[in-house]
Amino acid sequence: MSTSVFVSIGNSDDALTQLRWSQYVVEVDNALRKGLADDELHIHGFWLSESSSQYQNAGWALELKNAIDHPITGELMDRLSAIRREFNQTSLVWAVADTEFI
């Protein structure tokens, strides 16, 4: 059984400089890509807001294979939260999707 998860970060309040924002995106991306073994995690997509947008956002679409209740998933969430705190961000979205095929 697989679970879809969406991870989103943003800098719409301009709390981070462009350099810090880019470092934040890289750190979150690295944590996700190294977070779980390939047979447990698949990244379906990664996107960034349009460069001319006044808002800075990044998002990842993940598929967790039999791992949503696995202890390492909690470790990944803890790692993401630590990165969020390192960059003085108040939130990071970890949205578990209720996927329905139609």
102 lies in a domain? Answer: no
13 lies in a domain? Answer: yes
Give the domain extent around 21: 2-58+69-90
77 lies in a domain? Answer: yes
pTM to 2 decimal places: 0.89
In the predicted model, what is the mean pLDDT of residues 68-93?
Answer: 89
20 lies in a domain? Answer: yes
23 lies in a domain? Answer: yes
Pick the more confident residue, 39 or 16. 16
83 lies in a domain? Answer: yes
47 lies in a domain? Answer: yes
The pLDDT tens digits of the residues spanning 39-49 come to 778 899 999 99
14 lies in a domain? Answer: yes
Worst-scoring range by mean pLDDT, 38-42, 59-63, 83-87?
A: 38-42
What is the number of structural domains in the chain? 1
Strands 41-48 and 2-10: unpaired
The 3-class secondary structure across 5-32, one letter per residue, is EEEEEECCCCCCCHHHHHHHHHHHHHHH
In the predicted model, what is the mean pLDDT of residues 47-61?
Answer: 94
